[in-house]
Amino acid sequence: QLILDTLDTQSTLPDSRALKIPGQSSPASSHDAQITILGALNSLLSREMITYETHEVSSHVLTPEGVQIVREGSHEARVWAALPERGSAPLSAQDLKKAVGDEAAKVGQGRAFKSGWIAKEGNGFVKAVSNITDTTQIELRELESSGTLVAGEKALAELRKRKLIMQRKGQWFTVHKGANFSTSIAKPETDLTVDMLTSGSWKKSTFKKYNFEADGIPTSGGALHPILKVREEIRGIFLEMGFEEMPTGTFVESGFWCFDALFVPQLHPARELQDTFYLSDPSTSLPPPSDYYERVARVHEHGGYDSIGYRTPWSHEESHKLLLRTHTTASSAAMLYKLAAKCRGEDIDGDLSVKSQPGAANLSDDGFRPAKLFSIDRVFRNETMDATHLAEFHQVEGVVADRNLTLADLIGFMRTFFRKMGMKNLRFKPAYNPYTEPSLEIFAWHPLLEKWVEIGNSGMFRPEMLAPMGFPPDVRVHGWGIGLERPTMIRYGVNNIRTLVGHKTSIENVENSPAVMF
């Protein structure tokens, strides 16, 4: 405030040593005073109320001995003062020591002699002059109050030699008005608030400067859920094996794509309400491609392509029902149907998101192109939930379409794939799937549980499924599907799925779960 008031009247303060700080005992020019002033200057500077320049000076400060001399006089002066006038009985060296102390007597005697202040008389000393000027004390007093000596460098050097003063680097300042100069120090605002914006008070507020050096508050970023980490890892394996990811955004499918296209009989138990979630609004799908729909209906009802079919009446209603897909094979079927477009003589290149595979250059006349496709996405089943079952979970699915594939190709592909996932010991067991023949259940040896665990299901897709799509007879398609949750649980040592998925999931666990590498 003193600085601001001074600036208000003088506009600049040329020398901060001229400031008299009220309540401070040391003189304005002293080192301590300048330190205090510097603190104030910096705080005003941060508000841009002032600017200042620093000047370096070397000043002198008194040593404790110097301070004592300012108070009591120099040793020689005290020796002189202790002695009697000439003509009186002299004071012995012993008594002198008693009077002024050992140190002062020793140093002071010599200096007093040299200045001709005292004289020897008999065994003792007397005053040689009737009055003296204690220059040492005067000089030190001058130094103490002003920081300098008019007498100059020679006298200073002498006092330094006598260890009565010490040199000290000091600073003083020239102060100017700053951009935000004002005589009142407002507490600067640290935040721009809604209130300030609505009232307009921000226009008159001063804001504290940002400190870009300050450490920020640690932020918590997003974290991938363990299931998604495993998904990323599995996706990586597919990609390095040259697979393409299928679009699988269609959680809602029709009975046609989820079941009929896959030659799942319309009376199959999997289609029943207790296994599948059906939609009530809207409850029916748009009609599927009509020619293809006819062919699928025919193979179900009457057979064809060397099959006798199911020989049960076809239900449009069943086929058009909307449902939450029970497996990602619904998406695979739709992709395979697209893949076969050229074979059907359709020109839907622009629509076909399946790109040509490397080695697929031998496009033959029938328009078939080999494909390796995969998907990892969510499926829904009307399950009773328990420690290992959810109504919503993820399926991993791989599908390969090429000419003359065999079951050995399927097994070889699975061995390669699962080895990359860390499962070296596999077994396959014949199984039944409406859409594959032969079908294989996949088992992997679990080294910790020390038993074979079922990990998935696979097979060669049936001609009843592929032929209506338009694939040439030598084209075989095989595929397999596994759940994503099971390997994730094994990976993270979780034995209850509900600690991983659902409202009991701990966000902290999700954030802290390590990355997965198979």
245 with 374: CB under 8 angstroms?
yes
Footprint of ligand PHE on this chain (CB under 6 A)? Answer: 327, 329, 397, 433, 436, 457-459, 479-481
Q: How far apart are CA 79 and CA 422, in angstroms?
A: 99
> Who's near 410: CB < 8 A, 6+ residues apart?
400, 440, 458, 459, 460, 478, 480
The minimum distance between CB 393 and ligand PHE, in angstroms, equals 10
Q: How many CB atoms lie within 10 A of CB 504?
A: 9
Q: Which is nearer to ligand PHE, 266 or 436 (CB)?
A: 436
Nearest residue to 390 (alpha-carbon basis) of 402, 379, 398: 379
Q: Which is nearer to ligand PHE, 63 or 382 (CB)?
A: 382
CA dihedral 65, 66, 69, 70 (to 10 degrees): -140
Q: How far apart are CA 233 and CA 222, in angstroms?
A: 18
DSSP-derived secondary structure letter, 514? P
Q: Which is nearer to ligand PHE, 346 or 454 (CB)?
A: 454
Q: How far apart are CA 265 and CA 259, in angstroms?
A: 7
For residue 238 the two structure tokens come to 């597919």
Q: Identify each DSSP E strand in 420-490 by its residue range.
A: 426-433, 436-446, 451-461, 475-483
Q: Give me the sheet containing 165-177, strands edge to edge.
A: 12-13, 165-177, 50-62
List the end-to-end C-alpha distance of the chain, in Å, as a whole number: 69
Q: Which is nearer to ligand PHE, 143 or 455 (CB)?
A: 455
45 with 78: CB under 8 angstroms?
no
Nearest residue to 494 (alpha-carbon basis) of 230, 263, 251, 284: 230
Q: Which is nearer to ligand PHE, 37 or 264 (CB)?
A: 264
The minimum distance between CB 407 and ligand PHE, in angstroms, equals 12
Q: Which is nearer to ligand PHE, 314 or 461 (CB)?
A: 461
DSSP-derived secondary structure letter, 43? H
The minimum distance between CB 391 and ligand PHE, in angstroms, equals 15
Q: Which is nearer to ligand PHE, 30 or 329 (CB)?
A: 329
397 with 391: CB under 8 angstroms?
no
Q: Which is nearer to ligand PHE, 30 or 457 (CB)?
A: 457
